[in-house]
Every structure is written in C-alpha cells, then in structure tokens.
Amino acid sequence: MNFKIVCLALLFLFSGVASFAAVAAAGDEFNGQLEAALVANTENFEKVIFKYAAPASVSSESSFEQSAQLARGRLYDPQTGSATVAALLVDEEDEEKKPSIFVDLDGNGNFSNREKFEFQQAEKDNPYLWNVTVNLPVKDNFFTACPLFLQYFKSVRVEKMSEGDRLLTQSTEVLARGRVDVKGKKILAQYAYSFEDKKITPQKGWLGVDGNEDGAIDMDELSPEAAKADDETIVFRVGQTYLSTKKVDLAKNQIVMREHAAKDYQRIELSLGKEFPDFAFVDLGGKKRRFSEFRGKYILLDVWGFWCPPCRREMPFLREAGKRFKSRNLEIVGLNTDVEMPLDVLKKNLEVNDLKWTQAQLESVFDLINKQLRIESFPTTFLIAPDGKILSMSRHLRGEPDLRGKDLLETLDEILPKQ
C-alpha cells in the first residue's frame, strides 16, 4: 500500500481535519507564463541495462570501428508511459573518443546520424560517469520536446549484468517551467507535467520554486525549493515572501501565484552544516521524549519502516553500526513509519531483528516527516554531530558521506573519534 496515501488517512484521524486543504492566502496574486521547453526531472530516475549487440545486427547509417562495444536497449518515454524508444550505445575503446548513443527518434528501426548524441563527462576527474540529454519529438502539444536525461556508468557492473552489458540510468518525468513576476522579480517555478492528461495541477506531483533566486531549482526531495504535492497547496519561501501556486492554465499560458503569511510556511529547511531542529516524540514505551536529549552524541536519525524493502536491506548495517560504534559515542534514533503494524507486533519485530535503539511512534512524528521535512523516499538517514549540526543527509551522489550498506560503516569509522 502507498505510504503517503495511508498517512493522509492517518492525518485525518489524528488531527480531526476534514482535508489536507489549501492554506489561506494572506496577500496579492502574481502572474507569469510558461516556457515552451520542458526539462527533465533529474532527481527521479530508473536503471536501464543495455545488452550486448553484434555489429551485424544493427541497422545504422554509421559504421563503427571494429573495437567499438555496442549495446542495445529501450528507453522509457514519458509520453507513452512505457519503454518504447529503441537505442544503441556505442562505447569506443579509444579513451580519446567519447561514448555516444543513437536514439530511434522517428521509430523506423534504423539509427541515422542525426539520431546520434554524444555523452559528456559528468565530472572532470571521473572517467566512469557520462551524461547526455536527448530530446524526443512531441506532436500537437504546447511543448516542443520531451527531454530524457541519461547517465552512462562506464565500466560499472551490477548484479545480473553479463560481460557485454552496459549500465545507464534515465529520467522518467518532465517538468514544465516558467517565470512569475513577484514584486518586480521574475521568479522561476516548475511543475510536473503529464502527457496523458495534458495539463498541470500544482496541487499534485512534483513542483519547485527558485527560493534562493540563483536561477536554478534544486529538485532534491530534501531541498526547500522542491516538494511533492498530494492534493494540497505547497507554500514556498522566496526571501521573505511566501508563495503558493493557485493554478497553471496551459490554454491561456498563465501561472497564477498567491502570497501567504509566514505562519503558512511549514517546511523545515535542512542543509549540511546546519543544526537539525529539536522535536518532540513519543517512544514505543509511551514516554514523551525530545530529540535534544541526544545532544552531545553522534546520531544516526533513520526514517524507515518494515514495509519498505530498501529499509530492510539496511537493517544489518545499522545493527552492526550500533554495536560497533556505541563506544565511540554513536546513538541511533528511528522514526518508524509502519502505518498498519500494531504496536505490539512492531515491538516484537524489532526484538526479533535485534534493533535495540530508540524508536518514535509514527503519530508523534507524522507532521515532522510528511509536512515539515517532506520525506518521500525511504529510508532517509541523517548523520548528526554532537553539536547538532548535519554531517550527511544520505545523498552520497552529491558528495556527502555515504550512509548506505557497507559504506555506512566506513563513513562512521572515518568520522567518529577514535578511542
């Protein structure tokens, strides 16, 4: 069952409100327009394995060097909602030549030279990660193209990959963006777009606002510039102005934002080096607690649940971390999200799995998880220093210390003081 849907039901139960309603506006409305170019949501992606292809089996206008490694696969098309786009990855042994990908844009089964896209190295000193954006054609629509953001992991192997296979990831969602004139400033905003519905509903799906006015929107789920709406109005902060999107009208090419009072802004803004805020919770024994009780220790704050397969895969590593590093001032605190599991069953499962650290009851931290931190992926884990400042938010792809699997143990061994 979808965790967010069940949690919405719980919210009604615990708070007694009739809906997750739009908050009241406190001021003016502002207007803007959409751009014709969609952008890929690069924070949400899927893994794609391309399989080895013999050169003789490829129908292409291009000729390939004998040493070139070819792999075929299909890319997910947000327009059809399925993996319908044929593609061919070409990886040259010559390190001076960049890898490339042919994408069958016209669907005729033949790869032409105009359908060739060259990867660019994502990081100067990283020869294993390559990026490219491919624009699929769009017909009879307000928008001109459907972008796919592709990452190729050169020479990287994962489970169930054969020798000639190649690993890629690709974006699966697109965002419509535009600018709104707010008190003389052109504020960038973007919204989830569905080709099936051909409309934008800012009360549903991912949306973002350029809160720090740097010309870009950070769509990471823990960024205060992004949120995923579940039939609700999201309020963002831009400087000292608080804004939500009232509507987006594609027929009129109009974005309407409205101003809110500061009290309507519920988001807790997190960043590396910033202090994690104190919060109250009730532990599984029914005792009222505060997070500040753990100040002075290194804390792994883990938002998780037995319902979540990735969470269960992390349990052995968390268990080992708790045992190995307790003497080095580490404490683990869990924010459990098992909505439908009775308390006695939850306690039994924790005991059987030897998870002996403090856990918060969901109803006591529901608003923290869903409305203030707005956590969408599970597990989400924070490493917090004794002074309360955030050392990592488990986003190792952004250069943060890795808090997953065996890397968690290496991170803790490196950061925690030796005895």
Check whether 13 has a pLDDT greater than 50: no
User: Residue 54: pLDDT band by 50, 70, 90 thresholds?
Assistant: confident
Average pLDDT over residues 215-237: 96
177: its two tokens: 């963006």
What is the average pLDDT score of the chain?
91
DSSP characters over 257-320: EEEE-GGG--PPP--TTSBPPP-EEEBTTS-EEEGGGGTTSEEEEEEE-TT-HHHHHHHHHHHH
For residue 228, the surrounding DSSP H or E stretch is: strand 226-230
In the structure, what pLDDT confidence band is assigned to residue 158 with cuts at 50, 70 and 90?
A: confident
Q: What is the dihedral of CA 363, 394, 419, 292, to 10 degrees?
A: -30
Cα separation, 368 vs 249, in Å, equals: 32
Q: How confident is the model at residue 24 (pLDDT cuts 50, 70, 90)?
A: very low
Judged against a pLDDT cut of 50, whether residue 177 lies above it is answered with yes
* Measured distance CA(155)–CA(89) in Å, rounded: 13
DSSP tag of 111: B
pLDDT, residue 394, reads 81
Nearest Cα to Cα of residue 213 among 234, 176, 239, 182: 239
Helix (H, G, I), strand (E, B) or coil at 28: coil
- pTM, entire model: 0.87
Cis peptide leading into 379, omega within 30 of 0? yes
pLDDT tier at 176 (50, 70, 90 boundaries)? very high
- Rounded to whole angstroms, how far apart are CA atoms 323 and 356? 10
Q: What is the mean pLDDT of residues 22-51?
A: 87
pLDDT level of residue 11 (50, 70, 90 thresholds): very low
**Edge-to-edge strands, sheet with 390-392:** 358-360, 330-336, 298-304, 380-384, 390-392
Residue 341: name the closest of 360, 358, 357, 362 by CA: 362
Tokens of 397: 């792809």
